[in-house]
Chain A
């Protein structure tokens, strides 16, 4: 009796295939499939009924979904740009420090060491309208006469959330840009000085183009982070008040686990992922272009 023998390379790769299939492929296919069904967590039999494309149509025609979508893009745009500017400034300042730079770099990374949930709680406290630090400070300095409802007013709440995001993640930009500054060749900068550049012009025409690849790498990483933003928002406002800080993933999370409408949640999830992919592709193309401009081959 002969046993069919697998070729050795396949045999050796098999564990990796199996593990990947178990933890990635099967859940992915299952969730994709469930997004074609009216799957409800409390009614397992609904998993066997296909109603494609009902969930997708529903999501795409739901005003609430598009509001959350738009708000996510807004948060992403504001937070990323703010973090980039602040991170750039921070990196430029730290790079000028002569003594204690190592300590400063370490301190700069402290916010990254906190769990986003804790950051959420911290900022929820800071912006609390009764006992929060911000209102307290504003009132005792005489800048505000009444308590400002930071987490209740929709725009203010989004502002508070952006504050928390920026506080936590600016250092991602700062660290990556700092790495770029360390790698910056000094010769072209000196040439620029002799060529007549003011410090600002040197920065604008020589330093910044060189930093752009680093900035785009940070952007790509952070856009994935922010596009899936959930924890800070969930803790600070829970998407409220009255869904005015609802983001894609707080909406999807609630639909799936609170309302138990997993099929619909999965459909929205797949649409949301397209957003993440779009941003990543966008920044990756930007990165490639910036690298090509610098004469770095891909």
Chain B
């Protein structure tokens, strides 16, 4: 186990810069998830930590060693790849034990470590198969087992679940979380799936265009997004953003609908803003929205509804913007129906219309 520090980490390919001076401190045993859309530099950052990419600038410290110029094999970390990257010519047993064999461990030690890892991951009956004869989920478990046997300082996961089907993904997510609770190593996990990020992370690092946008616990980034990017990226369905202008202590939307200013915000008259409302905080009246002191009401015409069983996502038009609202205790909703929606104002967010930054004091 070890801490990991990234200091002003830069990656550029010639004139093209893809990671622009990242700073991040990861505590011992922490599960950190790097999340962001494709091309945000999260995988590149991970590969720099692994030593598979050169570092163009800055420093990576693992434990108390600056590892910038160390080859991957001297960094004592293990990596799980998106495409599993198993050795096709070796059996599961050989795949699991390979790193120990390279490290010249005795056969007894190798067997013990392999059997233990196989036990944890329920791979014991598959030990003598080749990767070609395994299913996707089984391969993924072998890839994880290969990482566990080494007891590395740091585990690196590069989108490990994106090749699995939805059901298996949920299952493996739980297994990864359990695994982390069991072995307690430092983990850096890269994904583009915000649900994986939310469910797995001790801390989420949200990246965009080679910069870190926000770092925080899952609840912090969910409840206090620093800008509209984080607000719409984290949480499902994404936060609704409605452009408006501050006027007389109210927010006036484009079509003239006035909504009271959420508590805790003070805005200059005429300031252009975006009002952020999560689907959980806008519901048809009478649909289990916990009543608070600050409620607002709007009428909206329903354009579409998606029943999900325990809840229904209702799409409706407000001031020319499509808004997604949730409806607990579902009932059939007709398209074109006009419903009265309640908004929990104290759960709303305000962002600057130009910079997108949160206006929370």
Binding site for B on A (CB under 8 A): 185, 187-188, 190-198, 201, 205-206, 209-210, 293-296
Q: Are B98 and A190 in contact (CB under 8 A)?
A: no
17 residue pairs of the A-B complex, CB under 8 angstroms, read: A188-B85, A188-B88, A190-B81, A191-B79, A191-B87, A191-B146, A193-B52, A193-B73, A194-B79, A194-B156, A195-B78, A195-B102, A196-B72, A201-B102, A210-B88, A295-B88, A295-B89
Q: Does B190 contact A (CB under 8 A)?
A: no
**Shortest distance between the CB of B282 and any CB in chain A (Å):** 45
Residue of B nearest to A195 (CB): B99
Q: Does B133 contact A (CB under 8 A)?
A: yes
Can you list, as one digit per residue, whether each of B54-96 has a CB less than 8 Å from chain A (1) or not (0)? 0000000000000000011100011101011111110000000
Known contacts A295-B132, A295-B133; is-contact A193 B51 (Cβ 8 Å): yes
Known contacts A194-B52, A209-B89, A295-B133; is-contact A187 B83 (Cβ 8 Å): yes
B residues within 8 A CB of A195? 73, 78, 98-99, 102, 146, 150
A residues within 8 A CB of B85? 185, 187-188, 190-191
Q: Does B247 contact A (CB under 8 A)?
A: no
Query: For B50, B89, B98, which residue has the most chain A Cβ atoms within 10 angstroms?
Result: B89
Query: For A185, A209, A295, which residue has the most chain B Cβ atoms within 10 angstroms?
Result: A295
Known contacts A187-B81, A295-B131; is-contact A205 B73 (Cβ 8 Å): no
Query: For B77, B88, B133, B156, which residue has the most chain A Cβ atoms within 10 angstroms?
Result: B88
**Shortest distance between the CB of A278 and any CB in chain B (Å):** 27
The 8 Å CB contact of B52, one of A190, A198, A205, A295, is: A190
Residue of B nearest to A290 (CB): B89
The 8 Å CB contact of B88, one of A190, A198, A294, is: A294
Residue of A nearest to B156 (CB): A194
Q: Does B130 contact A (CB under 8 A)?
A: yes
B residues within 8 A CB of A185? 85
Known contacts A196-B102, A196-B103; is-contact A294 B146 (Cβ 8 Å): no
A residues within 8 A CB of B77? 194
Other than the given A188-B88, A190-B79, 6 more pairs (CB < 8 A) read A191-B87, A196-B150, A201-B102, A210-B89, A293-B89, A296-B132
Q: Are A191 and B89 in contact (CB under 8 A)?
A: no
Residue of A nearest to B132 (CB): A295
**Shortest distance between the CB of B41 and any CB in chain A (Å):** 18
Q: Are B103 and A205 in contact (CB under 8 A)?
A: no
Binding site for A on B (CB under 8 A): 50-52, 71-73, 77-79, 81, 83-89, 98-99, 102-103, 130-133, 146, 150, 156
Q: Are A194 and B72 in contact (CB under 8 A)?
A: yes
CA distance A209 to B51 in the complex (A): 24
B residues within 8 A CB of A198? 73
Query: For A191, A192, A201, A209, which residue has the most chain B Cβ atoms within 10 angstroms?
Result: A191
A residues within 8 A CB of B99? 195-196
Residue of A nearest to B73 (CB): A196
Which 8 residue pairs across A and B have the least CB separation, nearest first?
A295-B132, A187-B85, A195-B99, A191-B85, A196-B73, A193-B72, A209-B89, A293-B89
The 8 Å CB contact of A294, one of B81, B89, B102, B156, is: B89
**Shortest distance between the CB of B55 and any CB in chain A (Å):** 15
Q: Are A205 and B78 in contact (CB under 8 A)?
A: no
CA distance A107 to B150 in the complex (A): 46
Query: For A196, A198, A201, which residue has the most chain B Cβ atoms within 10 angstroms?
Result: A196
A residues within 8 A CB of B87? 188, 191-192, 205-206
**Shortest distance between the CB of B197 and any CB in chain A (Å):** 23
**Shortest distance between the CB of A245 and any CB in chain B (Å):** 41
Residue of A nearest to B75 (CB): A194
Known contacts A187-B85, A206-B87; is-contact A194 B130 (Cβ 8 Å): no
Query: For B52, B73, B99, B146, which residue has the most chain A Cβ atoms within 10 angstroms?
Result: B73
A residues within 8 A CB of B131? 295
B residues within 8 A CB of A194? 50-52, 72-73, 77-79, 156
CA distance A210 to B88 in the complex (A): 9
**Shortest distance between the CB of B18 and any CB in chain A (Å):** 18
CA distance A196 to B72 in the complex (A): 7
B residues within 8 A CB of A209? 89
**Shortest distance between the CB of B88 and any CB in chain A (Å):** 5
B residues within 8 A CB of A201? 102
A residues within 8 A CB of B146? 191, 195
Known contacts A188-B88, A193-B52, A294-B88; is-contact A205 B81 (Cβ 8 Å): no
Residue of A nearest to B82 (CB): A187
**Shortest distance between the CB of B236 and any CB in chain A (Å):** 30
**Shortest distance between the CB of B21 and any CB in chain A (Å):** 25
Residue of B nearest to A209 (CB): B89
**Shortest distance between the CB of A257 and any CB in chain B (Å):** 49
CA distance A210 to B89 in the complex (A): 8
A residues within 8 A CB of B81? 187, 190-191
Query: For A190, A193, A194, which residue has the most chain B Cβ atoms within 10 angstroms?
Result: A194
Q: Are A193 and B88 in contact (CB under 8 A)?
A: no
**Shortest distance between the CB of B164 and any CB in chain A (Å):** 16
CA distance A209 to B72 in the complex (A): 22
**Shortest distance between the CB of B19 and any CB in chain A (Å):** 19
Residue of B nearest to A190 (CB): B52
A residues within 8 A CB of B71? 193
Q: Are A197 and B88 in contact (CB under 8 A)?
A: no
A residues within 8 A CB of B78? 194-195
A residues within 8 A CB of B150? 195-196
CA distance A227 to B83 in the complex (A): 44
CA distance A194 to B72 in the complex (A): 5
CA distance A191 to B52 in the complex (A): 10
CA distance A265 to B73 in the complex (A): 61
